[in-house]
Structure 1
Amino acid sequence: MNKPSKTALALSALLFAASSLFAQIEDKKGIVAKGAELVKVQDGFSFTEGPAINRMGDVFFTDQPNDKIYRWNSNSNQITLFKEGAGRSNGLYFQLDGTLIAAADLNNELWEIDQNTGEGKVIVSSFRGKKLNGPNDVWVRPKGGLYFTDPLYPRDYWEGIRGKEAEQDGKHVYFLSADRTELFRVAEDLTQPNGIVGTPDGKTLYVADIGAKKTWKYDIQEDGYLTNKTLFCEMGSDGMTIDERGNLYLTGNGVTVFDKSGEQIAHIPVPENWTANVCFGALDRKTLFITAMGSVYTLKMKYRGVW
């Protein structure tokens, strides 16, 4: 048997380091699968965002500056282009019928996209006759209807489309009814609402106010309105997800996990300047899929994510 050269050994080490990243994960409650390591699936994107899981466990995510949506196949671990020209989509979420909802801020709209054909359709273009600030993240309620955040992040590509001054009177959270006939505000007192996710029973909504460095918890009413605003934790978030134990996963500096009482129980370092968003992928919903700068990562978890 030929002995491998030093060059071959060095290359092998580099490839291993590139695909499997050992990090000092803080995990007080054992939520990460035993022996699991953070794995870089692919890099070379501009800025990844908005991961959303479909029924088959595949994750769709955006490369927002390049105006593309990609699909990660949970079985092959391969990433393929799903849609080009996606309205500069940011946050994504699947409805139960398989329709993909996209926060598309090229023209400050909310879209629905056919998962099979990739055909997009605008479902929200304005509020009270004025442009939205730029929908950012979205969560679909199990009973129907959806919530989305509308912060303001001025984009270079708005030049020539409209000015960078907001037409709305603030940065709010909105509810759109299942039949698309009602659109109204449900939170009007936040600084910069961003990440948003709800519980699988449809009773509780979490909204991250990244501008105020806080995450709030609300009770969801049958008509879509929110009540009982309660401080959940002293941390904002870009994107968020939740697992079957009610643990909430916040992003920014890696992934920080809080239990349902608001106590921090884990921190997952990610070797990027910013971690934008996170969701659970794969058919068993036990793979944490992380979008961070120009890369996407996975980490095996002990508990399932909810959808």
Structure 2
Amino acid sequence: MTYNLTYKVVLFFLLTTTLTLTAQAPIKLSSDQFKFTEGPVWDGTNTIYFTDIPNSKVISYALNSGTFSEAFGNTNRGNGLMFSKDYDLLICEGAAGKINKRSVDGTILETLAATYQNKRFNNPNDLCVDKHGGIYFTDPTWGTQYQSSNNLYYRNKNGVITQLDSFGNDKPNGVIISPNGKYLYLNNSWSTTIYRYDINQETGALSNRIDFATIIDPDGLDITGADGMAVDTKGNLYVTAKFTVQVFDTNGKPSTTINFPEKTTNCTFGGKNKDILFVTAGKNLYKVEMPGVTGFQHPFDLLAMYTTVPPIGKVITFRKGGGDKKFITTQNSNNNQLVAETSTSNTRAERFLVEVHPKGGVALKSMLNNKYIRVFNKNTDIPIRAAATGKGGWTQFTWLSKGNGKVALKSVHANKWIQAIWTTDNAILFPKGERASDWETFSWEIVANVDPAPDTTDAPIGKTISLRKTNGDKKYVTAEQTANNKQLIARAIAVQGWEKFSIETHPDGGIALKALSNANYVQVQGINVNAAAAKKDKLTQFIWKNKGNGKVALKSVSANKWIQASWSSDNAVLFAKGIEDKGWETFDWKIENTQKTKAIGTTDQSLNAHPNPLTENTLNIDLPIKETTKLILYDTTGKVIFNEKVMGGTTIARNCDELGIKSSGLYTLKITSKSTTKTIKILR
């Protein structure tokens, strides 16, 4: 189909007013040297690959130099491209009716799809790869009809091909998987409709096809020319159609239209921060800078998010996958940097506890100092260190299982894979890897019969307790006002108001203790322990280690020391000095006035829902008390859209689909339990 200049001008003025996301004007990168461009993909580092269909070539574009090169030819009018998990190119070779797997130099490694029911495919057009390596692909006809209709197919990891949907004589074209792996989007070049399917993430089967969104066509034609698509990490869908890229939110509502002087054919995100949209259009390659947007790269981001089987709660060791194959250790000097320098894994320095990170993925805690490994401000020249007291953004890692006891770890904050150079002995670990390749691969195994970390699961969350010395004068710990800044002292002979502490969850893990007498949190400043903190911060974080028989040891995370009260001193002042959790570091504890405690610090502070405003797809609800709790969510009209009973004592997460949140607005969450009721306004 051709479009005259008048149509382009009208289209431009009609659609430039719909922008709601921040997108810069398209920048033309080439100079009309190609005939018809399609299928852009980013290799994760410096190169965009795309096809020039009439010339049967794959072209490479270097981001750092801005130069174009022919990667290889003889592609049988190659169209859509996608990388495999091994960084080989999957190419829809329309003229041959095949999908081939090729190396980036063009060598054919394998023919993945050629026939269905003993007939060749029509013209394979576009494709995407799921977490198992299965391939969804469209097969419209642009010439001779070989199959009886134009269809959507799925090739599973074992090579079995199944027809999933049929479109008669229509033209199924662009196809892409949502960032959460739950949905497949497909468009039709001869229709205004974008379809969405539910994906069975184990088998690849599709169900529940719906009309998800409608492509805007100012001339009112049904033949929209819809083509290739991309997604960002928030789930927004980017669709090429005629002279535009049209963006739809997760509810299928149009949010942005970006206009081009040529007919757009496909798009992908790339660049260091994945905030550049690369678009093939007509004879050229364009880029659109998208500040504040992070693209989702298929299939690697999908693999990193969903091919994860981390050994949560286990203590493990790591060693380099090649080279000297030494174990990763936490150095007791050099800012606790991680180095592959030991031949054995006999000490706590070589051991790491794998925990769930509150924002997804994993956090790893060094058993040497009970601190989390972290990166520093996206600076790839600073080594990985075991230096974080809590699970902040710098401690979030993606665990990518590579099979046979091997793993790659990616820093979410730095967007880099952790690497230890195989050609260097005693290699220091840095967040420098662009790919999960050799240097970024580590062997790991679980350490048997090791106490992973102080146990906080038996902490009496939501209860009021008293603490007393286990031996010596056996006096109760009090927060009674003194001249020493509310310092804790074991000097009370009975439990009254000053000797009561409520136990709450700490946002970074472990517990916080609140003194009922002044409603302040217990904190550690230097070695001093006092009830003087107005809110929970890193100084108020403690580990609760249940010692059995009504005894407990408390460890300050910030000081990395156990709290102690000298048995040989009467009226002993509490200090954060203990190296081990025994003797002076052990306290007797018991619950005091449980009902009263539940109300303290719960309705106002501990009960929480976040993020608020709800800018992500998941709402986290903090329920610190382990009791049956009812959650009711009302929409903007007051209608109940979510009603669920859960057990508290943890943070639960529900996505917008589960909550029934379909659009922007002010929602009301009501939390009700035996001990408390709270209403929270949620802005979407």
* Range into which the TM-score falls when normalised by the shorter chain: 0.7 to 0.9
Count of residue pairs the alignment pairs up: 269
Per the alignment, residue 101 of structure 1 pairs with 90
Amino acid at match of 1:230: I
Uncovered stretches (5+) of structure 1, i.e. residues with no partner: 1-23, 155-163
Contact in 2 for aligned 1:149/1:172 (Cα 8 Å): yes
Amino acid at match of 2:254: Q
What whole-Å deviation, never above 9, does each CA across 1:35-92 have from its counterpart, x for those lacking one?
Answer: x332100022100001112121521100000000011112222221101111211000
Choose from 174, 179, 186 the match for 2:153: 174
Amino acid at match of 1:267: T
Rounded to whole Å, the distance in 1 between the matches of 2:296 and 2:63 is 16
Contact in 2 for aligned 1:278/1:289 (Cα 8 Å): yes
Deviates more, 1:52-61 or 1:289-298: 52-61
Large movers: runs of 4+ above 6 Å: none
CA gap of 1:67–1:128, structure 2 versus 1, over 3 A, is: same
Rounded to whole Å, the distance in 2 between the matches of 1:233 and 1:127 is 30
Rounded to whole Å, the distance in 1 between the matches of 2:56 and 2:212 is 34
Per the alignment, residue 251 of structure 2 pairs with 261
What whole-Å deviation, never above 9, does each CA across 1:255-304 have from its counterpart, x for those lacking one?
Answer: 111111111111111011x1111111212211110101101110101211
Choose from 76, 86, 92 the match for 1:87: 76
What whole-Å deviation, never above 9, does each CA across 1:207-250 have from its counterpart, x for those lacking one?
Answer: 00222321100011121110111111122621111111111111
Contact in 2 for aligned 1:138/1:149 (Cα 8 Å): yes
User: Shift of the alpha carbon at 1:26?
Assistant: 4.3
Per the alignment, residue 30 of structure 1 pairs with 21
User: Shift of the alpha carbon at 1:122?
Assistant: 2.0
What secondary structure, in the 3-state scheme, does the structure 1 residue paired with 2:234 have?
coil
Rounded to whole Å, the distance in 2 between the matches of 1:56 and 1:129 is 40
What secondary structure, in the 3-state scheme, does the structure 1 residue paired with 2:54 have?
helix
Which structure's CA Rg is the greater one? Answer: 2
Q: Tell me if 1:220 matches 2:209.
A: no
Amino acid at match of 1:279: T
Rounded to whole Å, the distance in 2 between the matches of 1:283 and 1:76 is 14
Choose from 270, 276, 279 the match for 1:281: 270
Rounded to whole Å, the distance in 2 between the matches of 1:264 and 1:283 is 27
Per the alignment, residue 119 of structure 1 pairs with 107
Amino acid at match of 2:89: L
Contact in 1 for aligned 2:179/2:232 (Cα 8 Å): no
Contact in 2 for aligned 1:142/1:200 (Cα 8 Å): no
User: Shift of the alpha carbon at 1:106?
Assistant: 1.8
Per the alignment, residue 164 of structure 2 pairs with 186
Q: Tell me if 1:77 matches 2:55.
A: no
Cα RMSD of the aligned pairs, angstroms, is: 1.7
What secondary structure, in the 3-state scheme, does the structure 1 residue paired with 2:85 have?
coil
CA gap of 1:264–1:132, structure 2 versus 1, over 3 A, is: same
Choose from 236, 240, 264 the match for 1:247: 236
Contact in 2 for aligned 1:102/1:111 (Cα 8 Å): yes
Contact in 2 for aligned 1:74/1:281 (Cα 8 Å): no
Rounded to whole Å, the distance in 1 between the matches of 2:17 and 2:66 is 26
TM-score, normalised on structure 2?
0.38
Contact in 1 for aligned 2:179/2:231 (Cα 8 Å): no
Amino acid at match of 2:270: G
Amino acid at match of 1:263: K
Contact in 1 for aligned 2:19/2:258 (Cα 8 Å): no
Choose from 189, 193, 200 the match for 1:210: 189
Deviates more, 1:229-238 or 1:102-111: 229-238
What secondary structure, in the 3-state scheme, does the structure 2 residue paired with 1:70 have?
strand
Choose from 202, 207, 211 the match for 1:231: 211
Per the alignment, residue 221 of structure 2 pairs with none
Contact in 1 for aligned 2:51/2:79 (Cα 8 Å): yes
Q: Tell me if 1:295 matches 2:273.
A: no
User: Shift of the alpha carbon at 1:187?
Assistant: 1.2
User: Shift of the alpha carbon at 1:27?
Assistant: 5.4
More RCO (CA 8 Å, sep 6+): 1
Contact in 2 for aligned 1:143/1:202 (Cα 8 Å): no
Rounded to whole Å, the distance in 2 between the matches of 1:284 and 1:196 is 24
Contact in 1 for aligned 2:227/2:266 (Cα 8 Å): yes
Deviates more, 1:80-89 or 1:232-241: 232-241
What secondary structure, in the 3-state scheme, does the structure 1 residue paired with 2:50 have?
strand
Q: Tell me if 1:47 matches 2:36.
A: yes
Identity of counterpart residues, as a percentage? 31
User: Shift of the alpha carbon at 1:179?
Assistant: 2.7
Uncovered stretches (5+) of structure 2, i.e. residues with no partner: 1-14, 216-223, 298-684
CA gap of 1:74–1:26, structure 2 versus 1, over 3 A, is: farther
What secondary structure, in the 3-state scheme, does the structure 2 residue paired with 1:305 have?
coil
Deviates more, 1:40-49 or 1:73-82: 73-82
